Structure 1
Amino acid sequence: MSTYVYGITASSHPPPAEGTGGVGEPPRAVRVLTEGALAALVSDAPEGLRPEDRELLAHEQVIAEASAAGCVLPLRFGSLAPDDRAVTGVLAERAEHYTERLRALEGRVEYRLAAGRRSGGDDAALRRALEPEAEDATVGTDAGGRLADVAFLVERTAAERFLAAVERVRRDLPHLDVRVDGPLPPYSFVEPGPAEPAAPRP
């Protein structure tokens, strides 16, 4: 049976509460695989998993609950590995990378912004206003007629300053419909992990 991977954390991270359920119906029990100083939050993968609201929420809830106790590198919905051994094998192989990412993302959250576009300079103006309040940023794909979605990595203690900067953008660029989503786990700042997203089913 395949292994479903929610995220990666330190082996010293508190385990999920007894009875924590993840994806699947009934929810599959969340468990911990440990390899050296690292651990992965996993469950058995249900057959025919689809990105339905209930499943997406279950995935996000596992990560949110674990993140409340310390840094977790979240993997995107549908991350599967052939079995438990494949997960621990990649944890061992990429231990240095994951350990560095855990250090870099400790105490950080992600905010995602998107906005309608009226002029070519709006994208640069938006980033110029917000990047000083963030530690990192990644730009998504431009979806016709909108500014490219931008994810900002923000220290938790700086969240209020970042949101105040968003409000200044709304005031200074009133023609933009600026939308912000967050705080979120830092999905956009974790490189591919020990699993690939499940292929969408027709």
Structure 2
Amino acid sequence: MAVYIYSITGKQHPVRLDGLEGVGDPPARLRTVTGGTLCAVVSDAPDDLRPKRRDISAHQRVQDRLMEDGTVLPLRFGLLAPDDEAVRGVLEERAGEYTDRLKALEGCAEYNLKVSQDEEALLREILLASDTARELNDEIRRGTAAPDAQVRLGELVAGEVRARQEALASGVVEALRPFARDQQQAQPTGEDFLNISFLVPGDQEELFVTTELSLANQMGEDVHFRLNGPLPPYSFV
């Protein structure tokens, strides 16, 4: 039977699994597979594994419990292996790599920050700051603009939006970087212009969160910060 893999720890980790359930319906029983100095938390994989809320929650609860007692490499939902022997083989073959990652993550948690900006407020700022944009906008509204005015205004505004948001994002990252051991930037989606994860040591978490709150207050109501954490450090495995 295929094996579902939740996470990897050092063999010295207590790996308390009491009271936890694995993925599947009925829930699979959790167990460990040891290879050299490493240990993987696994269970039998259900035949119809899907990213259902119950299974995602079960996966996350394993990570949260393990993080309470030590460093863990949290694997993303859905990782399978053919059997326990295959898991053991990977632990032994990649022992150096996994051990290095455990050391890099020791005492740390992930914080994910997404930032967006009110589009109407930003457009008003651009029209106030740019004479060219304001004149084009006025001509379009009066019906006296050249045929290409709408395109020119769109390009001008898009360029201004990009420049302003890149500057904001850079300022936010630079302010938070001193409190993080590492960072991973992802492609923003939707209205967000920044999507970044920080690997924050436990002794820096309070300063990190306080600085993030200060930045959010400084930038005002038109810039929206959404900080999620502490999380298992998925982005840094």
Per the normalisation by structure 2, the TM-score is: 0.77
From 172, 177, 182, the counterpart of 1:131? 177
Superposed CA deviations along residues 26-78 of structure 1, whole A, max 9, x for unmatched, are: 11111000001001000000111111111111000011111111111000111
CA contact (8 A) 1:16 1:31 kept: no
Corresponding residue of 1:146? 192
Residue 5 of structure 2 aligns to a residue whose secondary structure is strand
Cα separation, partners in 2 of 1:29 and 1:19, compared to 1, 3 Å: farther
Deviation, 1:19, is 5.2
Corresponding residue of 1:195? none
Task: State the superposition RMSD in angstroms.
Answer: 1.3
CA contact (8 A) 2:17 2:62 kept: no
Superposed CA deviations along residues 145-185 of structure 1, whole A, max 9, x for unmatched, are: 31231000001121110000101110222231000000011
Residue 109 of structure 2 aligns to a residue whose secondary structure is strand
Superposed CA deviations along residues 100-150 of structure 1, whole A, max 9, x for unmatched, are: 111111110000000114533111111111111111110011214312310
Corresponding residue of 1:193? none
**Structure showing greater Rg:** 2
CA contact (8 A) 2:20 2:61 kept: no
Identity of aligned residues (%): 44
Matched AA of 1:2: A
Residue 90 of structure 2 aligns to a residue whose secondary structure is helix
Name the CA distance, whole Å, in 2 between partners of 1:148 and 1:85. Answer: 42
CA contact (8 A) 1:16 1:30 kept: no
| 1:185 aligned onto 2:185 | no
Corresponding residue of 2:223? 176
Name the CA distance, whole Å, in 2 between partners of 1:164 and 1:44. Answer: 42
Name the CA distance, whole Å, in 1 between partners of 2:102 and 2:206. Answer: 23
- Structure 1 unpaired stretches of 5+: 191-202
| 1:108 aligned onto 2:108 | yes
CA contact (8 A) 1:7 1:74 kept: yes
- Bigger mean CA offset, 27-36 vs 138-147: 138-147
Corresponding residue of 1:167? 213
Residue 116 of structure 2 aligns to a residue whose secondary structure is coil
Name the CA distance, whole Å, in 1 between partners of 2:67 and 2:25. Answer: 24
Matched AA of 1:146: D
Name the CA distance, whole Å, in 2 between partners of 1:17 and 1:189. Answer: 24
Residue 194 of structure 2 aligns to a residue whose secondary structure is coil
Which aligned pairs between 1:34-183 and structure 2 lie closer than 5 A? 34-117=34-117, 118=122, 119-120=164-165, 121-174=167-220, 175-183=222-230
Matched AA of 1:72: V
- Structure 2 unpaired stretches of 5+: 123-163
Cα separation, partners in 2 of 1:171 and 1:19, compared to 1, 3 Å: closer
